[in-house]
């Protein structure tokens, strides 16, 4: 299975990963509309972590033994047996924040609606996730990893 790996030595901290994630998860998939017209502005599921001079992008790691799946009160967080992805069902989510409490990476966020959480879905409809495809310096790599 493929996962996103951050190469912090290549990260320039430009934040384009967040921009393209936001666009990808917008209704319009258009950068201008996503940023200026969609209210609330769609959330980037990848977070650029900066502590100068260090920076790298982090998103849901789709953990093998995912604490968020065990802790989820509503069954919204599930581990897909085939793909190994941690999936989040927004319709089942009750925004109890329990997953946020247990995510070791701090990779789960409150959705701008304040009613549910939001996290990386590895852009399952794309060949390569938007953050990886648009990283200008190869600081995000999408590659096969051992489970």
Partner 1 sequence: MSKYVIVGASAAGIGAVEAIREVDPVGTVTVISDEQCPQYSRPMISDLVSGKANFDKMMCREDEFWQKNHAEALTGRTAVNLNLAEKWVALDKGDHINFEKLLIATGGKPFVPKIEGSEKEGVYTFTTLSDAESLAAKVETAKNAVVVGGGLIGVSVTEALVKRGLKVTMVELKDHILSLILDQTASEMVENVISNAGVSIATGLSVQRVVGKPEADNVVGGAVLTNGEQVPCDMVIIAIGVIPRTELVSGTDVKTNRGIIVDRFMRTSVSDVYASGDVAEAYDFVLGKNRLLPLWPLALEEGKVAGYNMAGKKAEYPGGTAMSALKYFDIPIISIGITNPREASAYEILVKHEPERALYKKIVLTDNVIVGLTLVNDIEKAGVFFHLMKNGVNVKRLKHELLSEDFCLATLPRSLRRKVYPGEYR
The C-alpha angle with vertex 140 and arms to 137 and 146, in degrees rounded to 5, equals 145
Beta carbon of residue 53, minimum distance to partner 1 (angstroms, whole number): 10
Q: Does 1 bind partner 1 (CB under 8 A)?
A: no
| Residue nearer to partner 1 on the CB measure, 106 or 136 | 106
Contact (Cβ atoms closer than 8 angstroms) between residue 122 and residue 48:
no
Contact (Cβ atoms closer than 8 angstroms) between residue 107 and residue 119:
yes
First to last CA, the chain: 7
**CA distance linking residue 5 with residue 114, whole number of Å:** 29
Residue 77-116 contact track with partner 1, rule CB under 8 A, x = bound: --------------xx-xxxxx-xxxxxxx-xxx---x--
Task: Please give the residue ranges that form the binding site for partner 1 (CB under 8 A).
Answer: 5-6, 8, 47, 49-51, 54-56, 58, 61, 67, 70-75, 91-92, 94-98, 100-106, 108-110, 114
């Amino acid at each position: 299975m493929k996962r996103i790996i951050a190469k912090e030595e290549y990260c320039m901290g430009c934040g384009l990963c967040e921009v393209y994630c936001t666009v990808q998860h917008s209704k319009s998939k258009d950068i201008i509309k996503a940023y200026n017209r969609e209210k609330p502005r769609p959330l980037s599921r990848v977070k650029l972590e900066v502590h100068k001079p260090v920076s790298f992008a982090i998103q849901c790691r789709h953990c093998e033994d995912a604490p968020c799946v065990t802790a989820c009160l509503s069954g919204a967080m599930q581990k897909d047996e085939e793909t190994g992805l941690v999936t989040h069902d927004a319709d089942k989510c009750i925004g109890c924040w329990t997953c946020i409490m247990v995510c070791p990476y701090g990779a789960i966020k409150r959705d701008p609606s304040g009613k549910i959480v939001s996290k990386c879905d590895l852009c399952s409809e794309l060949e390569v996730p938007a953050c990886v495809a648009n990283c200008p310096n190869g600081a995000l790599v999408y590659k096969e990893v051992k489970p």
